[in-house]
Amino acid sequence: MPTETLAGETAVNDVVSIEIDGGIGLIALNNPPVNAASHAVRSGLWQAVETLRKADGVEVLALYAKGRTFIAGADIREFGKPPADPWLPELCNFIEGSTLPIVCVLHGTTLGGGLEVAMSCHARVALKGTKVGLPEVTLGILPGAGGTQRAPRLAGISYALDMITTGRQVSAEEALEHGLIDRITDGEPRAVALAAAQDLKDGSLSQRRTGDLVATPDAAAIETMRAKLARTQPLLFSPHKCIDAVAACHLPILEGMKEERRLYEECMKSPQRAGLIHAFFSERAVTKIPEASQEPRQISSIGVIGGGTMGSGIATAALLAGLPVTLTERDEAGLGRGVQTITGNLEGAVKRGKLTAARRDEILGGVLAGATDHAALAGADLVIEAVFEDREIKKAVTEQAEAVMKSRAIYASNTSTLPITSLAQASKRPKNFIGIHFFSPVDKMMLVEVILGKRTSDRALAMALDYIKAIKKTPIVVNDSRGFYTSRVVMTYIREGLMMLADGVPAAMIENAGKMAGMPVGPLSLGDEVALDLAWKIVSATRKDLGVKYVEGPLDNILEEMVVKQERFGRKNGKGFYDYKGKDKSLWPGIPEVTGQPKPAESFNIEELKQRLLVMQALETARIFEEKCLTDVREADVGSILGFGFAPYTGGTLSYIDMMGTAAFVDLCKKFTRKWGPRFKPNKLLKEMAKENATFYGKFPPKPEEKVRDAA
């Protein structure tokens, strides 16, 4: 093809274009939002290389992407559809086999198939700030376009194994250090592509074709990783397949890729893949907040009452999102502690590169204000209360704050359990009263549970959602009830752990069962994190509120003994079910003094213990759904994974039931009811669904436009 015809940008198809500039063939991708390697990208890219290869005078090719990122992976939306040529692995091999050298320019988050395309190019340049990763394992699959063969060749087996089995994103600097990329530079992708291609042409940037490289054998790294995953993730399917695939990298690359493909197909068939990909899309769906039909609303300043760990975390999140914050505390000492915690949080953000030192100084120089008088909250559009979980204290601060707040400002309680409608009784403007439940630690936990009281208005909800969007967290919206959704389910997990203790299950076995079931921590450990005295307070408040209706159980005795008699409150005072020494912890040897001597481990079936822990949480979710506290099946799933780490491979609590089949789930509940007690009784909704052979997603299809809904 004559060069002149390619002067300026020429479209190959809707998402790929080419141009020729001084002997350099430029290929640009433009497939928003994340340049996923869809069929159009793959075929366009193939055609682009083919065309430029034949063009007169082109000596070197450079590939870059427009928009926010280079390719962020294969197009997950195409999974499950019939394969369309070229497949990504074929494309990668085609790129690698190109006689004309190809350099690519990475920016944004170059992930999965995107990094695989990059690794098949002959040199890789990244813009400053780029992150790269092979996150396939988080979707229940493995890098299936040569990633398991090329990463070890470029970066060594040990490092590749770590990246592939964790799915973590690494900085460009780290990628450079390990040889995954060849250079980091500043600039616009197109200009950098031109310059890099020029350097490739004149030899100042060297080619590294992965097919020519050999991964240094490292059997020890492979065996160490196998042993580690057998211990930490025995239940997950794809991490083990990732190791098998990397282990094939001693073969010639095309042979290794055949093995990779075989293992990839196995992962694609696994129900865990379905669960994890379902969770990926649900999470994004619940984050979407439709433009409300309400009047324009804007939150330009936040008030936070209470400078404890939660209050300081909430204040930090708002400050990092650019919102001015006024923090109030009851006295100077409390305020000082709060400001100190926030300052520490900001320091951490500077260290992690999330905040500039100059902005930190600005924040501490006035964007953050502190006061011991609630009058300081007069200018806030949204005030979030994060004081003790105590009705009387909450009532008093509500009254004091409302006395000075703007009439249309929103008041939110960060309660984790107390019903919002009852807390709103202290408010003169219950329409503007809402629950915004954060999780600890606030900076790490992405979920925020928004709770609607009986009289909460749509405007208050819309304001709360706007604010959560501003601080880049994922909201779920639930109707009012004791413990709402997440705390209520978390408590059942902890409670099941305590019930197992009462049944005589050895504590270590309970903890292992939790982790082996896919929970991030065992139930006793979680009890310690949540704080046993808080759990005891909640139990006592529930008992007081429910009066004669409250049914006492072994849980009350264990908690009372631990908290009241032994003063073991959990991690916060260094002793709970575990003894804590700095970062180390070990199970407290005195547990049998509280619960009685455990039975031998052989008396229990570990599979059944694992099921008990998951079934109990899923069952409680089904109850909450029946009570209409939860109304969106996706919010149930996302809330369970992001809020309390419910075994992510299941897709979430309701997907767990759907995947098992409602009838099988109900049968299991009945079996557990006979064996372990009435807390496992399936609810009416589940029994009906079992009869109809219905699934949650089939019977209650999610409607995205209902996110902002009438609270009445």
Question: Which residues contact ligand 3H9 (rule: CB under 6 A)?
Answer: 33-34, 36, 72-77, 88, 109, 111-113, 116, 135-136, 139, 143-145, 147, 284
Cβ neighbour number for residue 600 with a 10 Å cutoff: 9
Q: Compute the least distance from the CB of residue 141 to ligand 3H9, in Å.
A: 6
Q: Compute the least distance from the CB of residue 69 to ligand 3H9, in Å.
A: 6
**What are the C-alpha distances in Å from 47 to residues 82, 117, 645?**
21, 15, 44
Q: Compute the least distance from the CB of residue 341 to ligand 3H9, in Å.
A: 27
Residue 455 in 3-state DSSP?
A: coil
Check if the beta carbon of residue 443 is closer than 8 Å to that of residue 346. Answer: no
Check if the beta carbon of residue 494 is closer than 8 Å to that of residue 523. Answer: yes
Q: For ligand 3H9, which is the closer residue by CB, 149 or 414? A: 149
Max alpha carbon distance in the chain (Å)? Answer: 89
Q: In the block, which residue shows the tokens 């219905």?
A: 694
DSSP 327-364: EE-SSHHHHHHHHHHHHHHHHHHHHTTSS-HHHHHHII
DSSP structural state of residue 87? P
Q: Which residues pair with 435 in a beta bridge?
A: 413, 451
Q: Compute the least distance from the CB of residue 84 to ligand 3H9, in Å.
A: 12
The angle subtended at Cα 392 by Cα 386 and Cα 398, nearest 5°, is 55
DSSP 20-67: EETTEEEEEE--TTTT-B-HHHHHHHHHHHHHHHHSTT--EEEEEE-S
Q: For ligand 3H9, which is the closer residue by CB, 470 or 521? A: 470
Q: For ligand 3H9, which is the closer residue by CB, 263 or 500? A: 263
DSSP structural state of residue 375? G
- Chain centre distance of CA 673: 33
Q: Give the residue numbers annotated as catalytic, written as ranges.
A: 116, 136
Identify the H or E element spanning 511.
helix 507-516
Q: Compute the least distance from the CB of residue 75 to ligand 3H9, in Å.
A: 4
Q: For ligand 3H9, which is the closer residue by CB, 265 or 332? A: 265
Q: For ligand 3H9, which is the closer residue by CB, 39 or 429? A: 39
Strands (E), 286-426: 302-305, 325-328, 368-371, 382-385, 410-413
Task: Say whether the peptide bond before residue 441 is cis (omega within 30 degrees of 0).
Answer: yes
Q: For ligand 3H9, which is the closer residue by CB, 127 or 513? A: 127
Q: Compute the least distance from the CB of residue 110 to ligand 3H9, in Å.
A: 9
Torsion on CA atoms 374, 377, 382, 383, rounded to nearest 10? -20
Q: Compute the least distance from the CB of residue 320 to ligand 3H9, in Å.
A: 16
Q: For ligand 3H9, which is the closer residue by CB, 134 or 509? A: 134
Q: Compute the least distance from the CB of residue 112 to ligand 3H9, in Å.
A: 3
Phi/psi at 69 (5° precision) = -155, 155
Q: How far apart are CA 526 and CA 513, in angstroms?
A: 13
